[in-house]
Chain A
């Protein structure tokens, strides 16, 4: 089975993706991760205005069969949460890199993103 791994963004070993635009980092989970989890039924995310540190727990995603923690790819303030997921968590399965995004973080220091994996390195990890 092959999974989408768009090369416009970066990745964590824990299967989150991070897409930075003008200092704001959008976060979600990868196609591989949603496939491993199966049908997503619940997400628990921080509130807007919360401050996260890189590698902090930022929330929880639950599928029918599993519970999984989410980790922050970068330190900063949460500026947006994808509230559509509260009523339609299946968006994470249907479109993990698009409509299934989880939150946006206004990064304290985008240099932290250098520690993340490239698409190529992430592909090697899940191979």
Chain B
């Protein structure tokens, strides 16, 4: 299958980017250097093209009910312009994907009248948009709900402007001020005549915004964002330092099935709401988890990587590293992984097996760095 290309593939290529396959997309992994890009986001500001993220649009009289029943958080709490992080779980409470759900201004149609109908945008991970769309349609039909579900992934580009100086930079671009948006708030704003959805969200641990822009205007708007372009390589090191999960790696329905509680995102689960997976998760909430996600730091020389075994000090395999890197901010080898809860206490000594050699490691609290 040919790779999908973001609207800016050509512009990134001219800028000297290296590319990688990610979720079926051909995306820039590195422009100048991961270290330089990482530092720009931690200390100043950088911009990522994340147009590989899915864009799902749900509207209609039953849109709130549909979203409530298919995501783990409490969608009914979202006012227009709010957003929330949520898990999409199956009947067993296992995470299929994680997403951010945005409440858009109500969509007014001929039938809905002047107040319009509740409308949501949610952003599933790269390459999952088609199956997510099918899931929403299939449950909507099964439950007989009245809602339109559109997969608009190919209609919108998404840029993440991240870093302590991101608010100033984005606010200068928009006609309307966006500087007063709180974390997880969003609004429509105009950039050089183009209406964009601008949200104070991100995946780096820094302050910043995500901009959702009509695909046809992507190159135009990208050209106006005057800061260092950053690739998926820096996005990965930044999110690992911030202790944020990567779908398909830190959890995966097939290869690494986890509940939100195991994955450390129990805060996305609202058991007061009705959703697919709720009953199973209530059980887990009562009984507790056997394993959980930890942060770890290697004390010996080496770099923890996805798939490496974690052992206890006797050398018995007790878990697996799911993400790891040499942290550019801390200059220390760090990672995420799962271990039985008895080993999950910060300060616990463990080992990571690097090419057959046991390297001493220590359980750390996440995030590894101070985040917004």
Q: Which residues of A contact B (CB under 8 A)?
A: 1, 36, 38-39, 41-42, 44, 60, 62-65, 67, 86, 93
Cβ of B137 to closest chain A Cβ, rounded Å? 37
From known contacts A41-B326, A42-B326, A60-B355, infer whether A65 and B29 are also in contact, taking CB-CB under 8 Å: yes
Apart from A38-B34, A65-B29, A65-B34, what are 17 other A-B pairs with CB-CB below 8 Å?
A1-B16, A38-B33, A38-B233, A39-B33, A39-B34, A39-B328, A41-B326, A42-B302, A44-B302, A44-B355, A62-B303, A62-B326, A64-B34, A64-B326, A67-B303, A67-B305, A86-B301
B33 cross-chain contacts in A, Cβ below 8 A: 38-39, 93
Structural contact, A42 and B34, CB atoms closer than 8 A: no
Which residue of A is nearest B305, CB measured? A67
Q: Size band of the B side of the interface?
A: 10 to 19
Residues 239-260 of B, flagged 1 when their CB comes within 8 A of A and 0 if not, give 0000000000000000000000
Which residue of B is nearest A1, CB measured? B16
B interface secondary structure, majority:
mixed
Give the CA-CA distance A1 to B18 in the complex, in Å. Answer: 12
Structural contact, A39 and B35, CB atoms closer than 8 A: yes
Chain A CB within 8 A of B366 CB? no
Which residue of B is nearest A69, CB measured? B355
A1 cross-chain contacts in B, Cβ below 8 A: 16
- Name 30 A/B residue pairs within 8 A (Cβ), A-sorted: A38-B18, A38-B33, A38-B34, A39-B33, A39-B34, A39-B35, A41-B303, A42-B301, A42-B302, A42-B303, A42-B326, A44-B301, A44-B302, A44-B355, A62-B326, A63-B34, A64-B34, A64-B35, A64-B233, A64-B237, A64-B326, A64-B328, A65-B29, A65-B30, A65-B34, A65-B233, A65-B236, A67-B303, A67-B305, A86-B301
A38 cross-chain contacts in B, Cβ below 8 A: 18, 30, 33-34, 233
Chain A CB within 8 A of B51 CB? no
Chain A CB within 8 A of B325 CB? yes
